[in-house]
Structure 1
């Protein structure tokens, strides 16, 4: 499983590809923020006039007019605030949902070596949790940064027209605060990445243990599990605390500088008021603008904290997107019509470098032949089926399907012609139709019902109130084990494959259902080449050839009838043992 050679940098081109589809919403968002900035600048001036009018010779009507104007501006400001929040979140989810979709699509295309070391819980946290921390960036980061600088520019520009010493003090505070924040803006990024990784490990542990809760309880593993959970939660707490302390450092520095700036401005303002160079309303205006000056500074600090979290999510997302599957897609699309031949030529394979699973496997199946695979658990039967589907790459050797090296084939073209049924059936929350067709719009209801009729599922489907539109729960909790297996077989039947791999499809069925299933399987294999991985020898009565595997090596391969009649063959010995067990 490949890994990126270094920590990826977050490039603007990568970000812009997700912002580009929402650019007009972003523009509207920025315009609304600029209007909000103007309203924020106007309100203190209304209050200034009100105070001066109240302490001077202002009339009641003028005071009421100013109060009404203040109320209108305040209401408008609140309306714009709500609208900005709504539009910001709309932009956020539109942009980040595209990232989630791209991440999910990319992860689903990665090879099985990657998925063998990554749990579903960790992947959910990587795809959803990391992206959620990026949502603020896409929602309000750019707009609020622009809005904050616009408010700062408005306040400082207005102050320079009134009193340059106060304006100079405020400018110095602003420049120092912004400079310090930007200088240490990346201080918490690595710590935030560690925090996200700790969260991913926690979710991985929770998902893994919930999936195996029955085994945990049955074997008394709850205390040990709780100990592991405690350690994982402690890691999340320590990583989160460190990340938070580093992220708030810019804000702590600005608080100190703001306190100094407010003190200086108030001292200058009071001195000017005592010398009667400014009115009481102007004194309030200076104080209010000084207080307002802290708002965009704090906003910048908050956004930099969010940016650090977002940047860690961006890096982790880019790191995930930079991974490439070791299964390289070929460029050939065509395979011969009808059943496909299969050949293995000196194939060697291992999941790990230090432990080889298959050793020098060579055999050939002609189009339409049926092969029964026999062997103990761990002998390599399932590995052969996985290699045929190119879920893994070979260590050495060649596998040909229809006379073509499968490495030269496009995966989509290969999967169109090869079908597989495993004992572990995956059913999802959706309609019966979608579960059976896997969203293939070209399959009609008539084809579905005809196929399910051959498998004995049609009466069960017709008994459902909504028929094919009835919904299944995730995991197929509403189905029996046998019905779930029949569903999996129906999927393969509907694709009309030219090569079928059956991993003991009848192992979970009762005798009556198994007999009906075997008839349907025979019909399917009449039009295709078949490989049957057997745990019960009774399922191999109709195959043409037998292969016996032991520790990843072929110990016997040949015609089933001939091997059964040869008393010294491995297959004949297994048949005798099986009969003795049945008689016992």
Structure 2
């Protein structure tokens, strides 16, 4: 067996191990069904020979009753095999889906920036679906098929050696051919899955941007892209299917030749009196039965090709490694945390630096306001601080500790961030405010929401905190969604909080209430405020002006405001807030 297939089987067995008990029961049931299938034709043979030989009605009735009992029991076992096979399939593949999703969530943003959500859904679910039948039935059906083949051929050698030899040659030829071409359609199936993932990526992307698509009349363009991708899926799928059915087509031809030879020999032996009519029927029945496991093996070869393509893609995904490596430390000093950037350089792409030699320090409890035009690097500062990306050079310290030395949960536990893009989930208001953390008491939730001006809205809901909120938060205004995001962060009681223009979506009255609440809530932590409006920075201690990834200005807010030559003072004097956009 090639090394790659050994690795695939080893990888497969890792997911089958937890369900080995169910697999054992499944195998026993399948072997029992195989035994009953072998008995069935022999009962019919006895019935035909007894009827031709003139045996009495009691014997015929007993044989008919035995036939019915065996048929009913075999059918019940078949139902049990189907149920247990699907149970094994879902248990094993759901573990794989969970591992894939967990792994994806741990990959860095450089990976996710080039993968659409639709494509990742297809990788996590679609590829695994192709493996499900392989998990469920491949091993037991292959074993069951070989046992049935051995039983048929073994019994036939006791009936008629020449006929048994013909059947054996057919069986060996079919099995060897399937083994030889078992990987024929794997790459084509893999290519089919890739095309399907691209299609799902397009659908997800366009539906997510439905407002822009409709408002700008892009529906015909989207449909054109859709049809082109559908054509690719069809062409690749057709090629993969044609390669996968080669085993089945081959066995059909071999089976036709085998049946012809067996029937000719059988009829010849019956004419010369070497076989009874019942035995001739038994030979015909076993010849027909011989095709069932051969076809089943052919089907499993097709499933193997589809499953192997899914396994290859799943293993490729699991082989991706995040550039963000966990540190060893899991503790930070109590209270507000200081922040230091020392010679930080960062770029998303090789040809375009985003942060260049950024150096500054914020003392515990201070508040820093960051301003700059679009593309100046404001949001990138927060991303590297939270280790969504690794910096290229330099050091970032939180509470005096290099963030690369910290475990990620320790960093996220003490550093919170509020962005303008608020993600709301399908769940209760409580779930959305606490992000499904049941340890936060309702009293603390309501106290925090009251300080942020959200309590009155919650009180108006029919079931309060138990009110159901649909995914996407269609029932919330943009301002209410922003308040949700603020509440989430402050419920965690962070020691360092980053606010990316928290009041950008609020009206003047709500913004005033919010500013007062933020003042109270930030009194116990260090604050970083990324601003697009100068009014947001009236309460900060220091100001940083960024331009093209460099610090153009950094200092005490009041001192900069009183210095007519400073960037900040010129912006205040001109009131040109649009320069910050």
TM interval, short-chain normalised: over 0.9
Instruction: Report the Cα offset of residue 467 of structure 1.
Output: 2.4
1:61 aligns with 2:20: no
Give yes or no for contact 1:92–1:135 (8 Å, CA) kept in 2: yes
Aligned equivalent of 2:561:
564
Deviates more, 1:467-476 or 1:216-225: 216-225
1:461 aligns with 2:472: no
Supply the distance in 2 between the matched residues of 1:8 and 1:204 (Cα, whole angstroms): 30
Aligned equivalent of 2:238:
241
Identify unmatched segments of 5+ residues in structure 2: none
- Could you tell me which of 343, 356, 364 is aligned with 1:359? 356
Supply the distance in 1 between the matched residues of 2:4 and 2:400 (Cα, whole angstroms): 43
Supply the distance in 2 between the matched residues of 1:11 and 1:253 (Cα, whole angstroms): 26
Alignment of 1:217-236 (within 5 A): 217-236=214-233
Question: Any idea what the Cα deviations from partners look like across 1:338-378, whole Å, max 9, x if unmatched?
Answer: 11111111111100001111111111111111111111111
Supply the distance in 1 between the matched residues of 2:117 and 2:366 (Cα, whole angstroms): 38
Aligned equivalent of 2:107:
110
Q: Please give the secondary structure, in 1, of the residue aligned with 2:285.
A: helix
Supply the distance in 2 between the matched residues of 1:580 and 1:521 (Cα, whole angstroms): 22
Q: Please give the secondary structure, in 1, of the residue aligned with 2:123.
A: helix
Question: Any idea what the Cα deviations from partners look like across 1:285-334, whole Å, max 9, x if unmatched?
Answer: 00000000000000000011001100111111111111110011111112
After superposition, the Cα gap between the structure-2 partners of 1:131 and 1:116, relative to the gap in structure 1 and judged at 3 Å, is same
1:94 aligns with 2:91: yes
Supply the distance in 2 between the matched residues of 1:225 and 1:55 (Cα, whole angstroms): 72
After superposition, the Cα gap between the structure-2 partners of 1:143 and 1:436, relative to the gap in structure 1 and judged at 3 Å, is same
1:312 aligns with 2:280: no
1:155 aligns with 2:165: no
- Could you tell me which of 79, 82, 94 is aligned with 1:82? 79
Supply the distance in 1 between the matched residues of 2:384 and 2:531 (Cα, whole angstroms): 18
Instruction: Report the Cα offset of residue 55 of structure 1.
Output: 2.1
Aligned equivalent of 2:39:
42
Instruction: Report the Cα offset of residue 8 of structure 1.
Output: 9.4
Aligned equivalent of 2:479:
482
Supply the distance in 2 between the matched residues of 1:308 and 1:579 (Cα, whole angstroms): 63
Supply the distance in 2 between the matched residues of 1:329 and 1:315 (Cα, whole angstroms): 27
Q: Please give the secondary structure, in 1, of the residue aligned with 2:524.
A: coil
Supply the distance in 2 between the matched residues of 1:509 and 1:11 (Cα, whole angstroms): 54
Aligned equivalent of 2:18:
21
Give yes or no for contact 1:9–1:315 (8 Å, CA) kept in 2: no
Aligned equivalent of 1:332:
329
Give yes or no for contact 2:534–2:577 (8 Å, CA) kept in 1: no
Aligned equivalent of 1:370:
367
Instruction: Report the Cα offset of residue 221 of structure 1.
Output: 2.1
Question: Any idea what the Cα deviations from partners look like across 1:112-148, whole Å, max 9, x if unmatched?
Answer: 0000000000000000000000000111111101110
Alignment of 1:100-139 (within 5 A): 100-139=97-136
Q: TM-score, normalised by structure 1?
A: 0.96
Supply the distance in 2 between the matched residues of 1:551 and 1:506 (Cα, whole angstroms): 25
After superposition, the Cα gap between the structure-2 partners of 1:7 and 1:533, relative to the gap in structure 1 and judged at 3 Å, is farther
Aligned equivalent of 1:532:
529
Give yes or no for contact 1:7–1:319 (8 Å, CA) kept in 2: no
Instruction: Report the Cα offset of residue 463 of structure 1.
Output: 3.0
Aligned equivalent of 1:3:
none
Instruction: Report the Cα offset of residue 50 of structure 1.
Output: 1.6
Give yes or no for contact 2:532–2:577 (8 Å, CA) kept in 1: no
Question: Any idea what the Cα deviations from partners look like across 1:413-460, whole Å, max 9, x if unmatched?
Answer: 011110000001011111222211122232112211211121222232
Give yes or no for contact 1:10–1:311 (8 Å, CA) kept in 2: no
Aligned equivalent of 1:383:
380
Instruction: Report the Cα offset of residue 466 of structure 1.
Output: 2.7
Alignment of 1:490-501 (within 5 A): 490-501=487-498
Aligned equivalent of 2:252:
255
Alignment of 1:487-526 (within 5 A): 487-526=484-523
Give yes or no for contact 1:429–1:473 (8 Å, CA) kept in 2: yes
Give yes or no for contact 1:346–1:396 (8 Å, CA) kept in 2: yes
Deviates more, 1:294-303 or 1:566-575: 566-575
1:181 aligns with 2:217: no
Identify unmatched segments of 5+ residues in structure 1: 1-5
Question: Any idea what the Cα deviations from partners look like across 1:248-272, whole Å, max 9, x if unmatched?
Answer: 1111111111111111100110001
Aligned equivalent of 2:448:
451
Aligned equivalent of 2:399:
402
Question: Any idea what the Cα deviations from partners look like across 1:178-203, whole Å, max 9, x if unmatched?
Answer: 01101110111111100100000110
Aligned residues: 576
1:578 aligns with 2:575: yes
Give yes or no for contact 2:533–2:577 (8 Å, CA) kept in 1: no
